């Protein structure tokens, strides 16, 4: 396990993108998004994705320098063409558009097509909640999840994220896949050398649960909560892929691990202006009361307290800011190989705990 400071990991990541041909400003934005994700403990969507992103760029599957454009704007609604640009770049633009519309109309919704992977969804919901809006982010993804009672993939992990504003930046934040886990979490377990995985993560090719790593990698992800997760996954596809009106949705969307063609995903950003419903201070007080009530429940046996969505990540951020970001050896090896190919030196103070 490697331990790397936030600053050094951000600088290293920026250098990798610059070496791959990304502009300095966009390289810094990409690094900021990935390292923040690691800081919050969401390692599946942090710098582990670097070799995938760099590979896309090197194969010409990303339109470097593009920022996308508004296809149509009608009242509180925008359709956005991301032009196959870097996903984090266009997601930030779309989130800002959604908040701009919310300031004008109370609600703002942007549906984007021709998108690339935008990392962790919480990044973009937090952009909207930083403006005093409830931020909702959704996207479709490459086919990894069968519908309930099926044995062929028809949905992606199709995440849903809701971020609630708070004056101290500690608002409730739910970021979840509609599959049992994100596929990158399975990759993490593989890189750690694990031969088995927890029950409930994956299905084999016959649609039956498996705990064998090799079988899982050749199989599918399990929908979250059975038929409920399957329904939520389809809901996300409707609100992003279908509604975006682009050339691809559903089974035609590819992903980071599909080489030779653009991802062409679809994404949705919804901002709700809290102040249109009640004063922000009242909203903050009511949210604080609700969180306190939830956390006042007696913890179940084996636990010392009840946690709410976003709390584990906020704690991880405090701990990792002080002590450094841990990166498993298997993950670091793939990043280091990419860095060596690009002629970028690894951080000088990488430490083993």
pLDDT, one tens digit per residue, over 13-68 is 999 999 999 999 999 999 999 999 999 999 999 999 999 999 999 999 999 999 99
Using CA atoms, how far apart are residues 158 and 153, in angstroms rounded to an integer? 13
Q: Who's near 111: CB < 8 A, 6+ residues apart? A: 77, 78, 79, 80, 239, 240, 243, 244, 266, 267, 268, 269
Residue 307 in tokens:
């946690």
Q: pTM value?
A: 0.92
pLDDT, one tens digit per residue, over 80-90 is 999 999 999 99
Residue 6 in tokens:
């936030």
Q: Residue 94: which of 62, 132, 135 has the closest Cα?
A: 135
What is the span of the domain harbouring residue 37? 2-58+324-342
Residue 80 lies in a domain: yes
Residue 282 lies in a domain: no
Band of residue 348 on the pLDDT scale cut at 50, 70, 90: low
**Residue range 174-197: mean pLDDT, rounded:** 85
Identify whether residues 155 and 91 lie together within a single domain. Answer: yes
Identify whether residues 145 and 269 lie together within a single domain. Answer: yes
Residue 263 lies in a domain: yes
Identify whether residues 232 and 160 lie together within a single domain. Answer: yes
Q: Taking 70 as the threshold, does the pLDDT of residue 337 lie above it?
A: yes
Residue 335 in tokens:
């990043």
Mapping DSSP onto H, E and C, the string for the chain reads: CEEECHHHHHHHHHHHHHHCCCCHHHHHHHHHHHHHHHHCCCHHHCHHHHHHHHHHHHCCCCCCCCCCEEEEEECCEEEEECCCCCHHHHHHHHHHHHHHHHHHHCEEEEEEEEECCCCCCHHHHHHHHCCCEEEEEEECCCCCECCCCCCCCCECCCCEEEECCCCCCCCCEEEECCECCCHHHHHHHHHCCCCECCCCCEECCCCCEECEHHHHHCCEECECCCHHHHHHHHHHHHHHHHHHCCCCCHHHCCCCCCCCCCCCEEEEEEEEEHHHCCCHHHHHHHHHHHHHHHHCCCCCCCCCCCCCCCHHHHHHHHHHHHHCEEECHHHHHHHHHHHHHHCCCCCCCCECC
pLDDT, one tens digit per residue, over 21-33 is 999 999 999 999 9
Residue 26 in tokens:
């966009």
Q: Residue 221: which of 195, 201, 245 has the closest Cα?
A: 201
Average pLDDT, the chain: 92
Q: Taking 70 as the threshold, does the pLDDT of residue 146 lie above it?
A: yes
Which residues are 269's β-sheet partners? 110, 137
**Residue range 198-211: mean pLDDT, rounded:** 90
CATH number at residue 130: 3.30.1370.60
Q: Who's near 268: CB < 8 A, 6+ residues apart? A: 109, 110, 111, 112, 136, 137, 138, 139, 236, 239, 240, 243, 244
Start-to-end Cα distance in the chain: 7
Question: What total of structural domains would you count in the chain?
Answer: 2
pLDDT, one tens digit per residue, over 268-285 is 999 999 999 999 999 999
Identify whether residues 10 and 114 lie together within a single domain. Answer: no
Identify whether residues 115 and 144 lie together within a single domain. Answer: yes
Using CA atoms, how far apart are residues 314 and 138, in angstroms rounded to an integer? 21
Q: Select, from the ranges 234-248, 280-294, 337-351, the one with the highest average predicted confidence (pLDDT).
A: 280-294
Identify whether residues 107 and 255 lie together within a single domain. Answer: yes
Identify whether residues 77 and 105 lie together within a single domain. Answer: yes
pLDDT, one tens digit per residue, over 233-272 is 999 999 999 999 987 777 778 777 777 788 899 999 999 9
Identify whether residues 52 and 87 lie together within a single domain. Answer: no
**What confidence score (pLDDT) does residue 353 get?**
45
Identify whether residues 266 and 136 lie together within a single domain. Answer: yes
Identify whether residues 262 and 132 lie together within a single domain. Answer: yes
pLDDT, one tens digit per residue, over 87-128 is 999 999 999 999 999 999 999 999 999 999 999 999 999 999
CATH number at residue 17: 1.10.1530.10
């Amino acid at each position: 396990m490697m331990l790397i400071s936030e600053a050094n990991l951000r600088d290293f990541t920026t250098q990798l993108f610059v070496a791959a041909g990304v502009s300095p400003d966009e390289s810094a934005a990409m690094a900021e998004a990935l390292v923040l994700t690691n800081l919050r403990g969401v390692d599946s969507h942090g710098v582990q994705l670097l070799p995938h992103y760099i590979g896309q760029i090197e194969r010409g599957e990303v339109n470097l320098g593009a920022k996308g454009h508004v296809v149509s704007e009608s009242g509180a609604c925008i359709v956005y063409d991301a032009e196959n640009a870097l996903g984090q770049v266009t997601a930030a633009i779309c989130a800002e558009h959604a908040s701009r519309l919310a300031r004008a109309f109370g609600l703002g919704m942007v549906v984007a097509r021709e998108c690339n992977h935008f990392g962790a969804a919480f990044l973009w919901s937090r952009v909207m909640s930083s403006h005093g809006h409830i931020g909702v982010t959704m996207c479709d993804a490459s086919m990894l999840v069968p519908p309930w009672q099926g044995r062929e993939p028809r949905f992606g992990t199709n995440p849903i994220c809701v971020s609630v504003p708070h004056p101290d930046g500690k608002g409730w934040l739910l970021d979840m896949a509609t599959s049992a886990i994100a596929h990158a979490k399975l990759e993490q377990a593989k890189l750690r050398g694990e031969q088995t995985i927890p029950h409930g993560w994956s299905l084999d090719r016959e649609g039956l649960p498996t705990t064998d790593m090799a079988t899982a990698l050749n199989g599918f992800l399990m929908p979250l909560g059975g038929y409920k997760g399957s329904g939520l996954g389809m809901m996300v596809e409707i609100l992003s892929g279908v509604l975006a009106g682009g050339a691809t949705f559903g089974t035609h969307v590819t992903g980071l691990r599909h080489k030779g063609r653009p991802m062409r995903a679809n994404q949705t950003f919804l901002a709700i202006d809290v102040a249109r419903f009640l004063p922000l201070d009242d909203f903050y007080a009511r949210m604080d009361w609700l969180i306190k009530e939830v956390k006042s429940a007696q913890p179940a046996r084996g636990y010392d307290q009840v946690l709410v969505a976003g709390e584990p990540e906020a704690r991880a951020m405090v701990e990792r800011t002080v002590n450094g970001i841990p990166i498993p050896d298997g993950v670091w090896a793939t990043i280091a190989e990419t860095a060596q190919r690009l002629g970028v030196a690894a951080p000088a103070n990488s430490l083993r705990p």
